[in-house]
Structures are given as structure tokens and as C-alpha cells.
Structure 1
Amino acid sequence: MSALGLVGGAVQWVLIAAGAPLLVGLMRQVRAVLEGRAGAGIGQPWRDLRKLLRKESLTPRGTSEVFRVAPLVLVATSLVVAVVAPFVTTASALNPVADLFAVVALLAMGTATLALAGLDTGTAFGGMGASREMTIIALVEPTLLVAIFALSVPVGSTNLAAIVSSVQHDPARVLSPVSLLAAVALSVVIIAETGRLPVDNPSTHLELTMVHEAMILEYSGRDLALIEWASAMRLSVFLGLLANLFLPWGVAGSLTPLALLGGVVALVVKVGLLGAALAAGEVFLAKLRLFRVPELLAGSFLLALLAVGASFFLA
């Protein structure tokens, strides 16, 4: 734990917590423009959250504490990852928690808790969405681990801050076969984990095709606001990891106001561009059939394995 890590963690906490809904608004606005619509504006997700926070949360009869605690667990795991991962600075506020396996476990905990909450309602759509989500996560999490592990082999450490610092000192590694294979695999994982097209449609209203939305149909009011906020933060966290693991330029390495400002600006620009590119790609994609999703994720896992093999042979 260092002063740089503590300051960076505090800045990241505020930046991701406040900026995540704006990222969702930016992506919706990009889609609207490309589809010939006016769009509701970048700030609309924050207005939606403010409206939901004013409403009462209703708990379905027969549900347990799992249903009530799930939104808090989802928000808590997202915030912890936002604090410890190297987004603005190369140092972490809690270095042991910034480990690859700890970060992936925290993200998986939030997903699994939400799936349990979907099952806890006892509804057909909640159970269906939970079943689909666990099928996806069973293929996504190994790919996420293996893809980032490929980047850790040359570094000799699974600490995310150490990986980012190493790539900063050796920029040529960005164009290596290991990085390119891992980047493609991680991109597919992010699309699946955050429920974007072609794996899931975040704006769908057709129950039979929903995955994430099917699990939260019974939530309302403040609980729904927490879930939507946490989902936006998870999207920002995944895009931030993708940006800094492969393009770590601008990440602050010293505790000076100019370096911290550069780290904040670099993160906002990189995540914003990745979000806009993802939204633009969704305009030209159709949702895959559910039984075709494992094929896509299996292909990404194969790319991650190739990246690991290349990291040993090309070291």
C-alpha cells in the first residue's frame, strides 16, 4: 500500500461511480445517432437512477435474504474492483486484492449472487435467466483468467498493477502475438460478461431472449437502481481493464497533480472510445441464438489458450 495507490483508489472510486452511467448514456446516444434517432442524451441514465431512487422497493412474497442482499453485493464487488485495479495509477490501494484471481473472483461473485437472486424469486423467467447466466459465466470466467494470465507470464506476476507497469516499460509487447490473441479473447469475454450484442441485448423487452434482464424482473425502486448502477460500473471496469492492460499509456506513475490529471483524462478517453466502438458495432450485429453462444465463447477460450502457449514459446 502506497500513497499513490491510496490517492489513485479514491480518484478511481469517484470517477467510475460517477462516470459509469454517463458511459451507458454515451453508448445509447451513439446507437441512436447511427440508427437515425435523436436519443435521450448522455445524462439520461443518471436521471433514470434518480427517479428509481425515489421509489419504494417491493420484495416478492416468499423470497429470502438472498434477493434483498444481491443488489448490495453486486454494487460492493464492483466498487472494490474499481478501487484496487490499476485504472488511473500504476499502484493499487490494496495490492493483494489487485491480483488477477482475486479480481475475477470478485466479479464472478457479483454475477453468481444475482443469479441466485433470480432463482430465489421462484418465477419462470428468473430461473431461466439465471440458468442462462450461469451457462455463460462457466465459459466466460476461465477465458478471462487465461487471457490475462497470458499477459502475466512475461511479467512473472499475476498482479494487475505489475502487468500494466511492465507493458508501460516495454511498449513493443503491445503488438506481440500474445497481446493480440489475448485482446481478442478478452474483447469477446467483455461482450458476454456485460450482456451486449451479439450475446445478449440490453434493450430487449422480449422475455424469451433475455439473460440479464430476466434475472432482475422482480426488482424495483432503490434495489433496481443499485443493480443498474452496478451493471454500468461493471461495464466501465471491464472496458478500463481492456484499455489499460493493452494500451496503458497515460496511467499515472507518480503522485503529482499533472500525472493524476493525465491518468484521469486517459482513462476517460480510452473507455469512452471503447464504449462508443462497442455501441457502433452493436448497430450492425444481430443477437445470436442461445445455443450458438457457447461456440463463440469456446472460440475465445481457444484464443486465450493460444495466447498462453505463445507467451511461453516466445518468451
Structure 2
Amino acid sequence: MNGIGTAAVAAQVTLVVVGAPLLTGVMRKVRARLEGRAGAAVTQPWRDLRKLLRKEAITPLGTGPAFRAAPPLLVATTAVVAALVPLVSTTTPVSRRADLILVVALLGLGTVAVALAGLDTGTAFGGMGASRQMTVAALVEPTILLAVFALSMPTGSTNLSAIVTGGLHDPVRLASPAGLLATAALAVAVLAETGRLPVDNPATHLELTMVHEATALEFAGPDLALVELGTQMRLTVLLGLLASLSAPWGIATTTTPLALALALAVLTAKVALLGAALAAAEVFWAKLRLFRVPELLAGSFLLAVLAVTASYFLTGE
């Protein structure tokens, strides 16, 4: 069990690392097609990363350890989250450590690292982007905690593997008012956490509208490649987490090679479908004004609170 479970974790992390740029390529392709353009190849993000890795690393004058440590820390924390979250199997050697609070803390650590790097540059845009990013994070992370906590109440545990297993054994709870409210709140939080429309536009470089891009302006070469890869991995992991919690069917509950292979294929299909749907929706969405973003995130937080309240009364705790 330990050998196959370890292989499942390794395959899960490898799929996230290798598939994250491809997911970005698929989303860009879908968006280009809907906008009437041919668009770049699906593998273009991997080519961009390879080009950046070949360039010379440039560090701005006056920056300290925070700037240099942010890119590898972002990738490392996201890789650990990819290993903990039950995307492929609920019975792995790290399943007992896949706690909700730990996962959110690791995501927050990556966000703080990039924000500190933006501040460390001493530029106006870096400080502006860091301030905006931390404002969004302060509203998003409590929403994720409450939304998943609402799904965990029937299980009685904040362990993500236990929550997914409970959803597999009792799928009715996923269609309950608490489950639907929690899924809606989590979906909005994922959009904000990954810097997608309508909260942020990853394709823009306008100084007055940037959030994540403003903190990454001073990165170049391999550092920029790591930041881009880490951002793409976060999108893949969070979409996979959303799929696992709202539609856990296909996740392996045993450690047989056939079940794990089927789970990897199902995970790829679900994340690709969510990514394509998100890209299609972004064609028709406009970016919100910065002062309207807290209203949207406050609304998602309210949905999470209602989900917890509904789950409390439905479970009779």
C-alpha cells in the first residue's frame, strides 16, 4: 500500500507540474477561438517557460532575500499542496496530513511570499500590487476555510480526504442547500485566489488595473519562469480541489494500479473541462473595478457563512 500510495502522490504532483502549463494553453486556446482568433498552440506556455529558463537571472538593485526566495517558495508550497489535496486517491501516505487549515496556510504562505517580493523591489507598482493582493487574500482565505468547513460538518473532520470520502458515500449532501452554497462560495474564491476575471485579468499589463502582474513586474529569466509556473500550478490545484469537493466521482478509494490510472484520467478530464468553461466565461465577463472587488468577495464570504449555518441545522449538530 505504501509503495503504490507513494507512487500515486508522485503521479499526482507530476500531473500538476506538467499539466499546469498545458491547462493554461487550453484556456488561452478556448478563449482565442471564441474571440475569432486562431490562438497559439496549447504547448506555448511550456515553450515560454523554457525560453525564460534559458535567460540570465536579473535581480534589481536593493532587493533582499525576500525577492530571491519568493519564486522557489511559491512553487514549493504549491507542490506540497498538490501532494496533500486528494485529487487522485483518498488513501495515500499523506492523507492523514491533508488538513484544511494546513492547505490554506500553505496557499497563504505563497501569496505572502510574492507580496513581500513586490514590496522588496521598492517600486510604486510592486507596492501597489502587493497591497491589492493582500487585500484580496484577506477576504478569500476565510471564504475558503468556511466553504470547505461547511462541507466537513457532516463528516466531523477537517481532513480533506475524509470530506471527499464522505461525499462519495453520501452524494446527496453535495446537492443540499449547504453543499450548493459552499460550492458557489468556493468557486468565487478560486477565481480571486488565482487572479482570474472578474477579479483580475491575467492578460493585462495596465498599471492601474494590475494585481498579480504588478508584483511580478521585476522578475526576469528563471525567477519569472518559476513565478509563472507557480501561478499555473495554483490554478490547476484549486480547480482540482473544487472538482474533488463538488464532484468527487472518479477519485480512487483503493490502491490498485487500475483505479489510480482511471482516477488520473478522470482528474485530467474534470480539470480541463473546468478550465475550458472558465475560459469561455471570461470572454463574456468584464473586469470589476478595484473598489467593487471587496463587494464580490464579501458576497462569497456571506454564501460561505450561509453554507455553514445550513449545514449546522441540516446535520442536527
- Structure 2 CA distance for aligned equivalents of residues 169 and 216 of structure 1: 43
Letter in 1 for 2:254: S
Do the aligned residues in 2 keep the contact of 1:31 with 1:280 (CA within 8 Å)? yes
- Structure 2 CA distance for aligned equivalents of residues 199 and 261 of structure 1: 36
Letter in 2 for 1:189: A
Aligned residue in 1 for 2:285: 285
The SS at the match of 1:112 is: helix
> Deviations 1:9-46 (Å, cap 9, x if unpaired)?
11101110100000000000000000000000110000
- Structure 2 CA distance for aligned equivalents of residues 6 and 84 of structure 1: 12
Shift of 1:218: 0.3
Aligned residue in 1 for 2:69: 69
Shift of 1:97: 3.2
The SS at the match of 2:208 is: helix
TM-score of the two chains, using structure 1 as the length reference: 0.98
Do the aligned residues in 1 keep the contact of 2:90 with 2:165 (CA within 8 Å)? yes
Do the aligned residues in 2 keep the contact of 1:8 with 1:91 (CA within 8 Å)? no
Do the aligned residues in 2 keep the contact of 1:75 with 1:230 (CA within 8 Å)? yes
Determine if the alignment matches structure 1 residue 145 to structure 2 residue 145: yes
Q: 1:117-128 maps to which residues of 2 (within 5 A)?
A: 117-128=117-128
Aligned positions, number: 315
Letter in 1 for 2:142: P
CA RMSD of aligned residues (A): 1.0
Do the aligned residues in 2 keep the contact of 1:92 with 1:98 (CA within 8 Å)? no
The SS at the match of 1:41 is: coil
> Deviations 1:194-238 (Å, cap 9, x if unpaired)?
000010000002111000000010000000000100100000000
Shift of 1:96: 4.4
Do the aligned residues in 1 keep the contact of 2:147 with 2:308 (CA within 8 Å)? yes
Q: 1:84-233 maps to which residues of 2 (within 5 A)?
A: 84-233=84-233
Aligned residue in 2 for 1:8: 8
Q: 1:33-72 maps to which residues of 2 (within 5 A)?
A: 33-72=33-72
Shift of 1:92: 3.6
- Structure 2 CA distance for aligned equivalents of residues 187 and 246 of structure 1: 10
Letter in 1 for 2:56: E
Do the aligned residues in 2 keep the contact of 1:2 with 1:91 (CA within 8 Å)? no
Do the aligned residues in 2 keep the contact of 1:84 with 1:93 (CA within 8 Å)? no
Do the aligned residues in 1 keep the contact of 2:91 with 2:254 (CA within 8 Å)? no
The SS at the match of 1:314 is: helix
TM-score of the two chains, using structure 2 as the length reference: 0.98
For structure 1, the 5+ residue unaligned runs are: none
> Deviations 1:168-199 (Å, cap 9, x if unpaired)?
11111221111100000000000000000010
> Deviations 1:230-274 (Å, cap 9, x if unpaired)?
100000000000000110001011122210111001100100000
- Structure 1 CA distance for aligned equivalents of residues 50 and 44 of structure 2: 10
- Structure 2 CA distance for aligned equivalents of residues 91 and 211 of structure 1: 38
Do the aligned residues in 2 keep the contact of 1:77 with 1:110 (CA within 8 Å)? yes
- Structure 1 CA distance for aligned equivalents of residues 313 and 128 of structure 2: 43
- Structure 2 CA distance for aligned equivalents of residues 286 and 78 of structure 1: 28
